[in-house]
Amino acid sequence: MMPNILFLIIDSLRSDKFPLETQHSNCPNILSLKKNGTLFSNTISSANATILSWSSIFTSQFPFKTGIRSARFNKLNQDITTSFDILKNNGYNIYGYLPKLSETIGLFPKFQNEDYLYDFYGGLSNGLAEKTIEKINSSLKSPWFFLLHSMDLHQPINVSKEFDTDEFGNNSYEKKISEIDHYIGTILKKIDLTKTILILTSDHGDYIKSTEISEQNLDFNQNSTRDQFVHKISKHTPNFLKPVKDQAFLAIEKRNQERKLKQLQNLNLQDYEKRALIAGKADKDHFLFDELIKVPFLLAGPNIPEDLLITQQIRSVDIFPTIFNSLNIKFSSDIDGINLSPLLDGMEFPESPAYIESNPLVLTNSNDVIGIRTSKFKYFRDKDDATKRVHLFDLTVDPYEENNISSDEKLVQKCENILISIVKDFSSNNSENAPESDEIEQELRKLGYV
């Protein structure tokens, strides 16, 4: 009998904040999973935002090959085989819960539970865990694949009073991870890990918008209560006022940036701390720092090595080829992902460079980048012009990516050659489709694609 599969995506969970014994978050359930499974701590997402990351995870191909090109809802190419297609062909019944935005891009299948869509402001800590438990208790038809995408950690972060103490973290991000851990624990009580493979990962990371310096607590996190109120009001804005609403939003974002810069100008902060604090939803210049693309990937369940930590760089496109190999399911060789089973078996395995790209904005044009990451170097540049916005970092001596060494022309060219070898000979239609409805645009705004 094929094992069941629970695939859990914690939106915006960074690898460096994945619960470990040495960290401040209070996460006994995730720590237990780690002890009973394998953690790939150096997993690189293909993009810095949800839609493109989804396209990469569930097709095992880099986003530019899938047809899903941007936040403006280019749909999945019809000739693309998804992981869901393969699972269905091998007898899996597919269930899950996803934010409403997921239905617009043609990537996800028809789930067997009709209530699979939820509002952005829902999450594990706001009813989603209970719905999942109820669904599991209803005797899912085996073998089942259950996909659960949690938005709890996505901005704006709203920490419940029970977890809003120093016991659970140093900031709202860490405290929310502790709260998520509690609800993961409630779900795990209903899961038999001798018959179920559990995958826990993230679509992308995020900047942490709070820090403490000189006994001063700086917190630039979005206000969740205010955001929900604005969302309710804006839903009823007449169409003829939409341009005014957009201009007002961009003006407010600009003022917020100016206010934050003024607060920070006399503080002794590192560059990586500053960029995290001042990052805004409407920033035109996009970057691909590790805070945004380095995520965890945890496997637990039957035939998965226990208490194994793998630090070698892998990629999100490698997740399903690895899972399918463990299930003895055949998958296409015409993909970018590779099977990581040799690493699980303790064998040496060559590292593959990770392709990365930033996600465009919707309301205004953005300066987007593409690039590559290896365990030693990070390289990205303007997506259309290899001579513009060139960034190169030596990760071995500069893990916080503060010293741009793009003046090293030979190394830049070496990295550019790797990038070109990935994207060469591939043409696609880069035209963007307009958002299909005001409701979809609202979902985009909440996800940060403004």
CATH number at residue 97: 3.40.720.10
Q: How far is CA 105 from CA 153, 262, 435, in A?
A: 23, 40, 11
Q: What pLDDT sits at residue 448?
A: 63
Q: Is residue 446 part of a domain?
A: no
Rounded CA Rg of the chain: 21
H or E element, residue 40 = strand 37-44
| Greatest mean pLDDT among 167-171, 219-223, 284-288 | 284-288
pLDDT for position 279: 86
With a CB cutoff of 8 Å and minimum separation 6, the contacts of 189 are none
Pairing of strands 377-382, 391-394: antiparallel
Please give the pLDDT value at position 434. Answer: 47
Number of CB atoms found within 10 A of residue 126's CB: 17
Could you tell me the end-to-end alpha-carbon distance of the chain, in angstroms, rounded to an integer?
A: 46
Residue closest to 6 by CA, chosen among 195, 203, 154? 195
pTM of the predicted model, to two decimals?
0.90
Q: Quick check: 430 pLDDT over 80? A: no
pLDDT score at 60: 97
Peptide bond into 143 cis (omega under 30): yes
Q: In this model, does residue 251 exceed pLDDT 80?
A: no
Domain assignment of residue 59, given as a range: 4-208+289-351
Tell me, yes or no, whether 407 lies in a domain. Answer: no
Average pLDDT of span 398-411: 98
CB 292 within 8 A of CB 41: no
Does the residue 188 lie in any domain? yes
Total of domains in the chain: 1
The first and second tokens of residue 318, run together, are 């490698």
Helices and strands (DSSP H and E) totals, the chain: 13, 15
Q: What is the mean pLDDT of the chain?
A: 88
Please tell me which residue, 107 or 439, carries the higher pLDDT value.
Answer: 107
- Lowest-pLDDT range, 34-43, 112-121, 266-275, 420-429? 420-429
The beta strands (E) that lie in 272-418 are given as 294-300, 308-310, 314-315, 354-357, 369-373, 377-382, 391-394
Give pLDDT tens digits for 366-400: 999 999 999 999 999 999 999 999 999 999 999 99
283 within a domain of the structure (yes/no): no
Q: Is residue 88 part of a domain?
A: yes
On whether residue 258 sits in a domain, the answer given is: no
Does residue 21 surpass a pLDDT of 50?
A: yes
* Residue 185 lies inside a defined structural domain of this protein: yes
Alpha-helical regions (H) of 201-318: 224-234, 242-264, 271-278, 290-293
Residue 73 has pLDDT above 60, yes or no: no
pLDDT category, 429, cuts 50, 70, 90?
very low
Q: Is 380 part of a structural domain of the chain?
A: no
